Structure 1
């Protein structure tokens, strides 16, 4: 029996969905990281965030992400990153520990157990956390717990459409090496899904990508109305590369959509294989 377009997309999502235990090894490093940072810098709290926590992670590509809220007076973001990096380098001397804004990346087990640690300072007056801004090099306000709740609320519509769309968007990003923020793609997917009255994945993949192209990957206002804007890219050169790859993605997505509507599943799937580099 021939595979339908929807069956193929479901298989693709299943292929890139991490198992519930896949990143358990990486999570075992949490206690050591928190203890070292607390002894060196002082920790208010440390909690998991990011795509794995949100249920939008991509197998093989996504890492375990933590936000560590530090005590004391907030320095420059560069100083904070360097202090966290140096503390963890001193503890894990046989592990690659490097800075990659907004995080310090620890590549345990040769990168098989990668953990990203984002230094943060809690805003005890206005709420939220100050985290390093990848684009400006300064600080930006973030509300990770509120953002997770927003994605979960949007995901209740259309039987989990927001997270499915976010995972497919991130799969495209990773498989096609698109220099665009995973967080941006996820928040755009949640906002898109929340605004749709009907849902058909092959149709909505196209409209979502087309919308990203129509707005030229413009920065996104925080949909919770609390934090800083979400930037899609970190530099002019990365934007040009992302837009070029987005143009190609839109072209393939509309062909896949039209083949799907014509019930030509083989050709629709062929376009998705190109889109997601399968």
Structure 2
């Protein structure tokens, strides 16, 4: 019977993307970029989102692809609105990839490729001429352009992971796996941003699984702070939870509180030496891929 630490190690390894998945994602990213360059002439692209931050979990689905344009591509900035620019991207994707229907979203256009099942959320980004590396992206709900910097998001994630001795990214992936089983009541990026802060108060005991303790700590921290305002990591755009409905936040808080109680019970069993009992609770929380034998 494995210890809790051994089960967590095996579970975390199962969440990692395979080398083949990474290779295919990067190949398709170049494929999409080259197709869009023929139509709309973006200057460069950035793999952003959870894939860019290395917090994506298997199976890999949608990848955020920043397409960077110069501001001149939309005139002075007032001539083309956010929805019109997204519609231009949607049209270009459907013209390049005949037979595929792209989907207009709030800040991106989604297109999925059969076979691999990998899709891309294509985000058109306009570099601010006064602030290199800072970008304006469309927000249809706001009816305006908002600022973003995906490279700053990657830096914030990497810095928090370094403070946690490289354990934060695996923990984020495990919490995303839990959230997926719950029907994703909490947006993944909000979970990540809360984790960047929550990990700073984590002080593990020496004789218990560090990952198990980290999960329990982060679940409790998130349940206590999900109602707080969570600034966007680059300090540019609206708060991360600004577009999340109150119903979702309340549901997320309830689910996180329930998971915290189970996680703390699992730690009690591990502390008492009952590894099978502890592992069974973690399996309830994290699903059938969590090994108990």
Three-state SS of the structure 1 residue aligned to 2:66 is strand
Give the equivalent residue in structure 2 for 1:109: 114
Give the equivalent residue in structure 1 for 2:239: 229
What is the distance in 2 between the residues matched to 1:218 and 1:40? 42
CA contact (8 A) 2:81 2:144 kept: yes
Give the equivalent residue in structure 1 for 2:213: 203
Structure 1 residues 227-262: Cα deviation after superposition (integer angstroms, max 9, x where no partner): 442227633343344333323322322222222222
Three-state SS of the structure 2 residue aligned to 1:219 is coil
Give the equivalent residue in structure 2 for 1:20: 19
What is the distance in 2 between the residues matched to 1:98 and 1:110? 19
- Alignment length (residue pairs): 277
TM-score by length of 1: 0.87
Give the RMSD, CA atoms, in angstroms: 2.5
TM-score by length of 2: 0.83
Give the equivalent residue in structure 2 for 1:50: 49
CA contact (8 A) 2:204 2:214 kept: no
CA contact (8 A) 1:102 1:133 kept: yes
CA contact (8 A) 2:21 2:60 kept: no
Three-state SS of the structure 1 residue aligned to 2:103 is strand
Give the equivalent residue in structure 1 for 2:166: 160
Give the equivalent residue in structure 2 for 1:76: 81
Q: How far has the Cα of 1:215 moved from its partner?
A: 1.7
C-alpha change, 1:58 and 1:232, in structure 2 (3 Å) is farther
1:99-248 correspondence to structure 2 within 5 Å: 99-109=104-114, 112-127=117-132, 128-133=134-139, 136=142, 138-196=144-202, 198=204, 200-231=210-241, 234-248=244-258
Three-state SS of the structure 1 residue aligned to 2:102 is strand
What is the distance in 1 between the residues matched to 2:280 and 2:81? 49
CA contact (8 A) 1:6 1:201 kept: yes
Three-state SS of the structure 1 residue aligned to 2:19 is coil
- Which one has more relative contact order, counting CA pairs under 8 Å at least 6 apart? 2
Structure 2 unaligned regions, length at least 5: 289-293
* Larger Cα-atom Rg: 2
Moved more, 106-115 or 219-228: 219-228
Three-state SS of the structure 2 residue aligned to 1:117 is strand
